[in-house]
Amino acid sequence: MNRTLIVAVLPLVAALSGCSTLYAEAEQAEVCLTLPPQTITIPGGGVVAPPGGFSGSYSGVVDVGLSDALPDFLIGGSPDSRILRFLSLDASLVPAPGVNFDWLSDLEVRAEHAADAPVTLARFARGTRTGLTTISLLPAHPDVNLAGFLTGGSVALQLAGSVDVPAGRSVPPAWTATVSACFYAKVKKTFQELANGT
């Protein structure tokens, strides 16, 4: 976990009723979390690919808890005063002889929230590469604000994609990987809001 909190207090004069308002801004340039190994099931897996090969899809949700990594005032309160951006995600297969991502065609990472449509954060396509054991993803839309996707201090990320296995090769029943995700966070609040805990 990488935590370097930068707090700046800026007096900003607002021409509202002739008053000045004092704001506090706090920024976390990067916070990275490594989750315990996550297992995602491949429907129809656990077999030898038939003649013509095996094609299928998979999906699973990973909850990234930020409440232990960021101060409460950075993740609490109204989304209007906060910015939370996705920076990167690494998925590394749990080491085992011969284990790699050769069966995986593509991977998409989306942020999920019950009240909002999913937002695509990153995509990966294996192409002709072989022997990969780690997938590293950078943001497809770096300016997307995920503050409204926080629920209880966590962001739900859906990992979904497709599988393509040649005939005669084993189709894994699931894949298990250690997932690391990095985010940027910023908040801007008046001192009155900070004093009120809002």
Q: How far is 152 from 154, CA to CA, in rounded Å?
A: 6
pTM to 2 decimals? 0.82
Q: How far is 93 from 133, CA to CA, in rounded Å?
A: 6
Please state whether beta strands 154-165 and 54-65 pair in parallel, antiparallel, or not at all (unpaired): antiparallel
Among positive and negative, which fits the CA dihedral 97, 101, 104, 107? Answer: positive
Q: How far is CA 142 from CA 82, 92, 102, 121, 174, in A?
A: 15, 22, 28, 8, 30
pLDDT in tens, 76-87: 777 778 899 999
The answer to whether the CB of 75 falls within 8 A of the CB of 65 is no
What mean pLDDT is predicted for residues 120-139? 95
pLDDT at 69 over 70: yes
SS3 content of the chain, % helix, strand, coil (to 5): 10, 60, 35
pLDDT at 18 over 70: no
At 39 the three-state DSSP class reads: strand
Phi-psi region of 60 (alpha: psi -120 to 50; beta: other; left: phi over 0): beta
- Where residue 54 falls among pLDDT bands split at 50, 70, 90? very high
pLDDT in tens, 159-191: 999 999 999 999 999 999 999 999 999 887 665
